[in-house]
Structure 1
């Protein structure tokens, strides 16, 4: 009896992960802090997650702080390997019928050394990860974007290159191609005073609209970190067209996005 019940529960969880409705604008901030890194986000339909990494020896370990690292929590075991298995199972997609999945990797240790190790690691996942080589962008089930300590020149000069750069609002108006800098992220509190309660002031709403418009005009996507997890905040970000809505509350954002009226294209 016990064996049958265990098999049923495991099998149901696996199926649920595959048939979750994709929420292409849902981004799991500090995803690795959840009970089941990556898997909880996938079960809620999230199409973007964030993993912080440290280079320790030749291993890429996932943690928010150095004193929290554990040898078994590698980038491969928590993210790259399960994503590869998922893509193989779903015909080359993480979520069937959805846009490529974003893996935002926040480098916490030395920028150049960590990226060099990461680039070698990603090359062994060329069947999974989108890359740029010989002037051509080759799509993949997963698109990797580097945040945190970013060795911009090293990343830009890499060939083949298996990751893009997470830009900042100050990078708008530059000449960096979109395949190299597909995403613009910034600290909400550096640009806005509204804290997600009540109504956003009109001048801040207009500032947000302009940030989104400028980013989209350049063919990039936009995200803010440090946004409070409130339905009012999610609605403002959603209505303004922010592409990646940052959250630590997976169930809350999933419920909001699933229940809101469909946005016009």
Structure 2
């Protein structure tokens, strides 16, 4: 679990918040992340039923579809991004089953591109245009809120996305991006590998130096208007 990203993870939540806030004072959506969500018994719905704020799906481009899998050898014809996530989410919106998510706290679906970044992103952009009614998006007039925010991770085409006047997805940033000038309307989220920056694995007290560094990362992200 701890080799997954520093992204709304329960580990970060434990380090910064749980010492001061009891579970019964929290309200959904919770700061929790479904890593490799497609491996769960009920992809998407396990996370939704538990009020998770973010979900991750790895994708590969084949033809005109994006297939959800951890490796190419695991690809199955029925497990596309449309079938597992976009179509069920649209149905949830139509049935008002995403009431806990709003313009201030949309559901975040991270799409982790595992192959060629630009080719796959262009296909993703086309696919997302079919579901734009439920999506947070950027138009020539500015930001348009929605129930679901798509965030591109993995092989990201940052410069290409930055030049788009209309897009249906955003960029997953890294820790090194905290000191760069990408606007939150492009890069609303910062995530990275926990073990790249910290030795603490959740047992015992977090070392004071690491806790202080974590707080600085969080402070920098929030000052930039970004989630971490």
Report the TM range for the smaller structure's normalisation: 0.7 to 0.9
Q: TM-score when scaled to structure 2?
A: 0.84
Query: Given the alignment, which residue of 191, 195, 204 partners 1:198?
Result: 204
Where does residue 111 of structure 2 map in the other structure? 105
Q: Distance in 1 between matches of 2:134 and 2:162?
A: 20
Query: Given the alignment, which residue of 24, 29, 36 partners 1:30?
Result: 36
Relative to structure 1, the CA distance from residue 159 to residue 97 in structure 2 (aligned partners, 3 Å threshold; closer, same or farther) is: closer
**Cα offset, 1:141, TM superposition:** 0.8
Where does residue 98 of structure 2 map in the other structure? 94
Query: Given the alignment, which residue of 40, 43, 49 partners 2:49?
Result: 43
Contact 2:114 2:154 in 1 (8 A): yes
SS at match of 2:218: helix
Relative to structure 1, the CA distance from residue 82 to residue 135 in structure 2 (aligned partners, 3 Å threshold; closer, same or farther) is: same
Q: CA RMSD, aligned part only? A: 1.3
Where does residue 261 of structure 1 map in the other structure? none
Q: Distance in 2 between matches of 1:101 and 1:95?
A: 10
**Cα offset, 1:135, TM superposition:** 4.1
Where does residue 118 of structure 1 map in the other structure? 124
Q: Distance in 1 between matches of 2:119 and 2:31?
A: 31
1:129 aligns with 2:135: yes
Q: TM-score when scaled to structure 1?
A: 0.73
Relative to structure 1, the CA distance from residue 50 to residue 95 in structure 2 (aligned partners, 3 Å threshold; closer, same or farther) is: farther
Where does residue 180 of structure 2 map in the other structure? 174
Where does residue 63 of structure 1 map in the other structure? 69
Q: Distance in 2 between matches of 1:74 and 1:26?
A: 24
1:163 aligns with 2:169: yes
Q: Distance in 1 between matches of 2:150 and 2:101?
A: 19
Contact 1:104 1:147 in 2 (8 A): yes
Q: Distance in 1 between matches of 2:150 and 2:214?
A: 26
Rg comparison, structure with higher value: 1
| Cα offsets for 1:205-261 (capped at 9, x unmatched) | 101111101110110000xxxxxxxxxxxxxxxxxxxxxxxxxxxxxxxxxxxxxxx
Q: Distance in 2 between matches of 1:70 and 1:154?
A: 30
Please list every run of 5 or more consecutive structure 2 residues that lacks an aligned counterpart in the other structure.
1-26
Where does residue 14 of structure 2 map in the other structure? none
1:220 aligns with 2:220: no
**Cα offset, 1:89, TM superposition:** 1.3
Contact 1:108 1:148 in 2 (8 A): yes
Q: Distance in 1 between matches of 2:146 and 2:107?
A: 9
Relative to structure 1, the CA distance from residue 37 to residue 97 in structure 2 (aligned partners, 3 Å threshold; closer, same or farther) is: closer
Contact 1:54 1:62 in 2 (8 A): yes
| Cα offsets for 1:58-112 (capped at 9, x unmatched) | 110000111101010000110001111111111xx72336521101110001101
Contact 1:52 1:106 in 2 (8 A): yes
| Cα offsets for 1:30-65 (capped at 9, x unmatched) | 100001100111111112100000001211000011
**Cα offset, 1:167, TM superposition:** 0.4
How many residues get paired? 200
SS at match of 1:49: strand
